[in-house]
Amino acid sequence: MFYASTYRQLQPLFVACSLAAAMVAPIAHAQTATAPASVAAPASNLGPGVIAKVNNVAITEAQLLRAVQQSGLPDSLNLRAALKSQLVSRELFRQEAEKKHIYDNRPEVKQAMQEAKDAAITQLYLRDAIKPAPVTEQQVQAQFDSIVASLGDKEYKSRLIQVGDAATAADVLAKLKAGADFGQLAQQVSLAQNKVRGGELDWISFKTPAQEGHTQNLPLPIAQALAGLPVGGLTPTPVNWNNTYFILKLEQVRPTQVPKYDDVKAVLRQQQEATALEKATIAVVSNLVKQAKIEQ
């Protein structure tokens, strides 16, 4: 397991920044999207870049690529065939509705057109205004080296149950000591997001004794408790941190598995590019906020 994730808490002002970054990414992706080499496009006599015509109205390869990107599904010939059928059907519907001339002036149509225009010009502005700093190979290598240096000689596989008060924590721990299944109990009572996985945590490694800021984003009391457990052991008492209570079970320990740089550099680059995009977005939003009169 490789520990490269970091969790930042932005101030409320920067909620807009995340939204802006989310908006600018799809348009940039759509402009550069190309068909994967493994997906062969069938030959067409309809004209360059045209995949179908509906009453002489062209449906283009670019439209299909955007539909593939927006679907979020792996590109394939079957997906493209299904989306192409949807585009053809949509064009048929549009033409039939347009013939009736009764929809043009309806308020909901005008509102939808205005919203689509607003979204398009906003995305174009964000693409032009937000210029993330490029990420270099040296930066990616430095991040990899820093992460490797922060790892301990062992890594831990564990489960965790999070509850909101001491009484519930004591009850959960008593049930576990009496033989209750940790995974099932986690699914039933845990407040943590990993409850759906029975409280399972990813492999994690850190130097011991655990020190603040050097626990791979694991809260220090939890890291300290985890490092002190025998394999198969439960925390003898609930761990109190940030007004919540945690019960841990250590399932496995093994020597730390450090991946090869070439196997993880793409992921590290993506993380750094996302951070650069966030920083550039914050700068743009902050500048606009300073110049604007905002009343709430």
Q: Could you report the per-residue pLDDT of 74-100, keeping only the tens digit for each?
A: 999 999 999 999 999 999 998 998 888
Regarding predicted confidence, which is higher, 114 or 23?
114
* Pairing outcome for strands 239-241 and 204-205: unpaired
Whether the Cβ atoms of residue 254 and residue 1 lie closer than 8 Å to each other: no
Average pLDDT of the segment spanning 263-269: 95
Whether the Cβ atoms of residue 17 and residue 282 lie closer than 8 Å to each other: yes
Question: Residue 109 has what pLDDT?
Answer: 85
Q: How many CB atoms lie within 10 A of CB 50?
A: 15
Three-state DSSP at 178 gives: coil
Q: Where are the beta strands (DSSP E) in the chain?
A: 50-54, 57-60, 154-163, 204-205, 239-241, 244-255
**132: confidence class by pLDDT, cuts 50, 70, 90:** very high
Range in 1-10, 45-54, 122-131, 133-142 with the lowest mean pLDDT: 1-10
Average pLDDT of the segment spanning 116-144: 94
Question: Residue 294 has what pLDDT?
Answer: 85
Average pLDDT of the segment spanning 198-215: 94
Three-state DSSP at 126 gives: helix
**15: confidence class by pLDDT, cuts 50, 70, 90:** very low
What are the pLDDT digits (tens) for 164-192? 999 999 999 999 999 999 999 999 999 99
Range in 96-100, 198-202, 226-230 with the lowest mean pLDDT: 96-100
Q: Where are the beta strands (DSSP E) in 176-223?
A: 204-205
Enter the pTM of the model. Answer: 0.59
Question: Residue 276 has what pLDDT?
Answer: 95
Name the percent of the chain lying above pLDDT 90: 74
* Pairing outcome for strands 244-255 and 239-241: antiparallel
**39: confidence class by pLDDT, cuts 50, 70, 90:** low
At residue 18, does pLDDT exceed 50? no
**3: confidence class by pLDDT, cuts 50, 70, 90:** very low
